[in-house]
Chains A and B, each alone.
Chain A
Amino acid sequence: NAGVTQTPKFRVLKTGQSMTLLCAQDMNHEYMYWYRQDPGMGLRLIHYSVGEGTTAKGEVPDGYNVSRLKKQNFLLGLESAAPSQTSVYFCASTLLGVTGTKTDTQYFGPGTRLTVL
Chain B
Amino acid sequence: AQSVTQLDSQVPVFEEAPVELRCNYSSSVSVYLFWYVQYPNQGLQLLLKYLSGSTLVKGINGFEAEFNKSQTSFHLRKPSVHISDTAEYFCAVKRSTGFQKLVFGTGTRLLVSP
From the candidates A42, A97, A111, name the one contacting B99 in the complex (CB within 8 A).
A97
Residue-by-residue, is B40-80 near A (CB-CB < 8 Å gives 1, otherwise 0)? 01111110010100000000000000000000000000000
Q: Which of A14-22, A66-74, A76-84, A102-110 contacts B (4 or more CB under 8 A)?
A: A102-110
Interface residues in A37-78 by Cβ distance below 8 A to B read 40-45, 48, 50, 58
Interface residues in A76-116 by Cβ distance below 8 A to B read 90, 92, 97-99, 101, 104-106, 108-111
| Interface of chain B, main secondary structure | loop
Complex contact B105–A110 (CB within 8 A): no
Task: List the B side residues contacting A99 at CB < 8 Å.
Answer: 32, 51, 94, 96-98
Would you call B25 an interface residue if the criterion is a C-beta within 8 Å of the partner chain's C-beta atoms? no
Q: Could you say which interface size class chain B belongs to?
A: 20 to 34
Rounded to whole angstroms, the CA-CA distance of A40 and B106 in the bound complex is 6
Rounded to whole angstroms, the CA-CA distance of A104 and B101 in the bound complex is 10
Complex contact B105–A50 (CB within 8 A): no
Complex contact A50–B99 (CB within 8 A): yes
Complex contact B46–A41 (CB within 8 A): no
Complex contact A42–B34 (CB within 8 A): no
Q: Could you say which interface size class chain A belongs to?
A: 20 to 34
Complex contact A104–B51 (CB within 8 A): yes
Complex contact A108–B99 (CB within 8 A): no
Complex contact A105–B46 (CB within 8 A): yes
- If the complex has contacts A42-B104, A42-B106, A99-B51, are A104 and B34 also in contact, measured as CB distance less than 8 A? yes
Would you call A4 an interface residue if the criterion is a C-beta within 8 Å of the partner chain's C-beta atoms? yes
Q: A47 CB to closest chain B CB, in angstroms?
A: 11
From the candidates B43, B51, B94, B101, name the one contacting A108 in the complex (CB within 8 A).
B43
Of chain B, the residue at the smallest CB distance from A44 is B104
Complex contact B43–A4 (CB within 8 A): yes
CB-defined A-B contacts under 8 Å, sample of 16: A42-B104, A42-B106, A43-B44, A43-B104, A44-B104, A45-B102, A48-B101, A97-B99, A98-B99, A99-B51, A99-B98, A101-B51, A104-B32, A104-B94, A106-B46, A111-B42
